[in-house]
């Protein structure tokens, strides 16, 4: 037993631990000043530098172990371009609701949402010419009766707003939307239109007459 253990010690060499080093990648930034032409959504490679190195080391013929190392590096510079046409984007966005207006035409709005939509719709589409001429003639005659001059080239701000609201009120009244007509007439009266005040009085009288008729019909039905 002693002889076999001595032979094992003489033949086998002791194993030593090996030390390993790993270099992590490093990212470096650099810039260059130059002028190039790049198409839309294109890329141009300006240049780059690549470097590679490898080394090995043996301590000697009798010393155990060896060392091996490798190093690689690459640097490159490229340019990417993407052109955003803001005018084309605006045109596409504005054309979207117009294309889908037919599908949204059946949507029912209520309250202030309905009133706001009617305002936008009336601004986008011109009203009937007969109502427009009548509103403009009444507004102009009223302005002349007050002693003010009406200029066709540069109309006054108050007259322009009053005539515009009076015109929209006439269109709404012709369609039968008396609630919207009263709102427009009030705005026209606020800007100095007396014709709008007369229209409001007529609408109030009509509403009062309608209420009286309804009350009478109810009274007759109760009596019967």
Residue 23 Cα to chain centre, angstroms = 49
pLDDT digits (tens, 9 = 90+) for 72-85: 888 888 888 888 88
What's residue 126's pLDDT? Answer: 46
Question: pLDDT: is 105 or 202 the higher one?
Answer: 202
CB-based contact 52:17 (threshold 8 Å): no
Q: What's 146-194 look like in SS3?
A: CCCCCCCCCCCHHHHHHHHHHHHHHHHHHHCCHHHHHHHHHHHHHCCCH
The answer, yes or no, to whether residue 137 has pLDDT greater than 50, is yes
Q: Which helix (H) or strand (E) holds 211?
A: helix 194-223
- Average pLDDT on 198-216 reads 76
Sign of CA dihedral 129, 134, 139, 140: positive
What's residue 73's pLDDT? Answer: 82
- Average pLDDT on 143-172 reads 65
Position 153 confidence tier, pLDDT thresholds 50, 70, 90:
very low
The answer, yes or no, to whether residue 181 has pLDDT greater than 60, is yes
CB-based contact 59:66 (threshold 8 Å): yes
CB-based contact 192:203 (threshold 8 Å): no
Which residue's entry shows tokens 């003639």? 137
Q: How many Å apart are CA 165 and CA 49, to the nearest integer?
A: 73
The answer, yes or no, to whether residue 178 has pLDDT greater than 70, is yes
Position 58 confidence tier, pLDDT thresholds 50, 70, 90:
confident
- Average pLDDT on 97-108 reads 52
Sign of CA dihedral 124, 127, 129, 131: negative
pLDDT digits (tens, 9 = 90+) for 3-48: 444 444 455 555 555 666 676 777 777 777 888 888 888 888 888 8
Q: What is the pTM of this model?
A: 0.30
For residue 168, what are the CA distances in angstroms to 19, 159, 187?
Answer: 90, 14, 10
Number of C-beta neighbours around residue 143 at 10 A: 22
Q: What's the mean pLDDT when you consider all of the chain?
A: 70
Position 97 confidence tier, pLDDT thresholds 50, 70, 90:
low
């Amino acid at each position: 037993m002693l002889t076999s253990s001595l032979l094992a010690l003489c033949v086998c060499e002791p194993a030593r631990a090996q030390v390993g080093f790993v270099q992590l990648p490093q990212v470096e930034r650099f810039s260059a000043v130059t002028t190039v032409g790049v198409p839309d959504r294109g890329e141009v490679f300006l240049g780059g530098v690549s470097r590679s190195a490898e080394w090995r080391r043996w301590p000697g013929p009798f010393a155990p172990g060896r060392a091996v190392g490798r190093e690689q590096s690459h640097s490159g510079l490229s340019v990417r371009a993407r052109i955003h046409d803001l005018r084309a984007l605006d045109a596409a966005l504005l054309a979207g609701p117009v294309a889908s207006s037919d599908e949204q035409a059946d949507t029912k709005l209520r309250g202030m949402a309905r009133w706001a939509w009617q305002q936008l719709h009336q601004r986008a589409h011109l009203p009937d010419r007969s109502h427009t001429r009548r509103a403009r003639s009444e507004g102009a005659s009223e302005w002349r009766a007050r002693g003010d001059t009406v200029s066709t080239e540069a109309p006054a701000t108050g007259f322009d707003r009053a005539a515009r609201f009076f015109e929209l009120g006439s269109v709404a009244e012709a369609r039968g939307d008396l609630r919207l007509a009263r709102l427009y007439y009030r705005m026209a009266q606020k800007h100095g239109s007396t014709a709008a005040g007369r229209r409001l009085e007529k609408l109030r009288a009509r509403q009062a007459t309608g209420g009286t008729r309804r009350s009478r019909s109810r009274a007759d039905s109760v009596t019967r």
